[in-house]
Amino acid sequence: MLQVTEMSSLLENGIIKANKFISKLKKVENPSNDINESEEELAVLYNEISGFDEKIVEFEVPAEYEEIERYWVDEPYSFISVIYHIEKKDYLYHIVEPKLNRFEITLLEQLFMELGDVLTLKGIEDIEALTDERKTELLKEQVRKILAEYSDLTSRSFEKVFYYIKRDFVEFGQISSIMRDPNIEDLWCNGIGIPLFIHHTIYGNVTTNIVFNSSDELNSFVMRIAQNSGRHLSKSTPILDTVMKDGSRINITYGTEVSPKGSSFSIRKQKKVPITPLDLIAWKTFSSEMMSYFWICMENGKNILFCGGTASGKTSSLNAICMFIPMDVRIVTLEDTREVQLPHENWVPTVTRDGLNANDIGTVDLNDLLKAALRQRPEYLLVGEVRSVEAQILFQAMNAGHATCSTFHAGTPREVINRFTHAPINVPVAMFTALDVISMQSSSYEKGVQRRRCSVISEVIGVSSNGVDLKDSCVWDPINDVFENKGSFIINEIRNKRGWTLEELDQNLSKKQRFLELMIERGIRDYTGVVEWLDAFRKDPDKILSLLSFDDSPSQEVEAGGF
């Protein structure tokens, strides 16, 4: 506990540092001259003051709630408090940001007006074309000029005000904290005066404390998102699908013409760090045995469909399992929105494009991309999601010898076949001899916690007078939460094609499975590390297994370098 004299000393020291900071701000009349030196000196003083300041954000949990979890998303300015209403038995995703006093609110409003004029009129032709880092630099320059007039401004006020300046000018405004949270997969705004909802990886669909209270506020927000994406939104074109600057997908409805509650939007967030096969094993979406099955399938060019309902993890599974594709293989990906992220250098990612005007001139759809991709001599074609007639070209590619991997919306393997073989897709039944594996994904909740599982792996074993013949090779038992191996037609087909004995096949699969299990035991799950270890294992499996099996090797110090 600090004594009164010690507290007085700290306070006096802090005031001296704050005055130094304000004095320095006043001297920076022309930030473009000696900017590096000025910024360095200011940063030192600013950091000293920050060490003196109290907490910038504080939150007291309401009496009717119990706090379940608290974590930073933008330390020290913003954190998340997941709270649980004791009577209603509902979760609330509470975003905590700095609270402003009247002086700070007035100052912020003035800064918004002055900075808006500067950023739009100061000889900058396209402010949105600048990087976030450059925008922040411009803001800092202008804020320093304006704040030089306020000699009584405290460091605490400066930090709080600049947080909102950066949040609203550079980031995503009110939803910035949500967009920073790696635990959030989806975000929904259903209209004016309605709390935003999010899909949390642990708590599922949860209400937030963020609300757009007026049509002007909400319309302004969605218009800004559209403009930042280089797209147009108006009453004549009130529906928009586009990609945000961070790669997230957003669907917007503008005004009340098509959405009576007011403008709405739905965001599917782009994952910053790709999911790996080890993540899927650790989350029990797949077992290590199932993952070794997919590994050998990908190495041998098998055609795989990941199917299931919305948000069941189809694309995540596709992305993770494609890490098993050999590094020297040529890959072309086709997507509406960039989601697939691969470590391969011989990879060409392609995306669709909407028309350049109301007549859709210049539209590039998946059908166009598939046709172009087939001319690029791909060894693997990855299609983010097939929905319609492009499936016919996908199956033509399979039958032409290209290995493919894609996702599709369906509830069961038989439903997959029925949807593909009937209108509007109409893939001929005879073409299904080229498809090898259908992996069904499911999503459910157990005691309020979401669990995603591969519900069944079904193999196409042929086509007969009854249609497409399927055989389940692995089935999930939801009661015991275990996977039951039913035997594989495809694995035996690979063995015959490669000329392996049963013993050689078993060794190949068991080494892969053991490698995956050892990686998890060693705590090696980061994306870069997994990529390096996979590449090392391909070159010398026995040596890598021996290295990982060494008992005295600390989990975080084992390195794959040199192989």
Q: What is the pTM of this model?
A: 0.79
Cα–Cα distance measured from residue 261 to residue 195, given in angstroms and rounded to the nearest whole number? 12
Using alpha carbons, select from 280, 275, 218, 284 the residue that is nearest to residue 252: 218
Report which of 410, 407, 403, 417 is spatially closest to residue 462, judged by C-alpha positions. Answer: 417
DSSP strand E in 368-481: where?
380-383, 403-409, 437-446, 449-464, 467-477
Rounded percentage of the chain residues whose pLDDT exceeds 70: 84
Q: What is the pLDDT of residues 75-128, one digit of tens each?
A: 999 999 999 999 999 999 999 999 999 999 999 998 888 876 655 545 554 566
Higher-pLDDT residue of 91, 362: 91
List Cβ neighbours of 311 (8 Å cut-off, separation of 6 or more). Answer: 185, 186, 199, 443
The domain spans of the chain are 4-52+98-171, 277-488
What's the pLDDT score for residue 50? 39
d(CA 280, CA 277): 5
Number of H helices, E strands in the chain: 17, 18
Neighbouring C-beta atoms of residue 429, cutoff 10 Å? 13
| Bridging pattern class, strands 449-464 and 437-446 | antiparallel
The CB-side HSE value for 518 (13 A sphere, CA atoms) comes to 22
Residue-level pLDDT at 112: 87
Is the omega angle on the peptide bond into residue 76 within 30 degrees of 0, that is, cis?
yes
| pLDDT above 90: percentage of residues in the chain | 64
pLDDT at 390: 84
Chain position carrying tokens 């782009």: 270
By C-alpha distance, which of 209, 306, 309, 222 is closest to 266? 222
Query: pLDDT band at 39, cuts 50/70/90?
Result: very low
pLDDT at 57: 92
For the segment 342-360, the average pLDDT, to the nearest whole number, is: 83
For the cut 70, the answer to whether the pLDDT of residue 360 exceeds it is no
Q: Residue 383, exposed/middle/buried by CB under 10 A (0-12, 13-18, 19+)?
A: buried
The answer to whether residue 400 scores a pLDDT higher than 70 is yes
What's the whole-number average pLDDT of the chain?
A: 85
What CA–CA distance (Å, rounded) separates 370 from 381?
Answer: 9
CB 197 within 8 A of CB 187: yes
pLDDT digits 0-9 by tens, 129-165: 677 888 888 787 888 788 887 777 888 888 899 999 9
Spatial strand order of the sheet with 347-351 comes to 347-351, 331-335, 380-383, 403-409, 304-308, 437-446, 449-464, 467-477, 482-485
Q: What integer is the mean pLDDT of 203-228? A: 94
Distance, in Å, from the CA atom of 395 to the CA atom of 374, rounded to the nearest integer, reads 12
Q: What average pLDDT does range 405-433 have in this prediction?
A: 95
- For the record, the structure tokens of 156 come out as 């605490």
- Give the pLDDT confidence score for residue 247 in this predicted structure: 86
Domain 277-488: which topology? Rossmann fold (3.40.50)
CB 517 within 8 A of CB 486: no
Q: What is the pLDDT of residue 314?
A: 95
**Edge-to-edge strands, sheet with 204-208:** 65-74, 78-85, 91-96, 204-208, 197-200, 184-189, 264-268, 249-253, 239-243
Name the least confident of 83-87, 224-228, 355-359.
355-359
Cα separation values, 85 from 61, 72, 178, 202, Å: 11, 21, 21, 17
SS3 270: coil
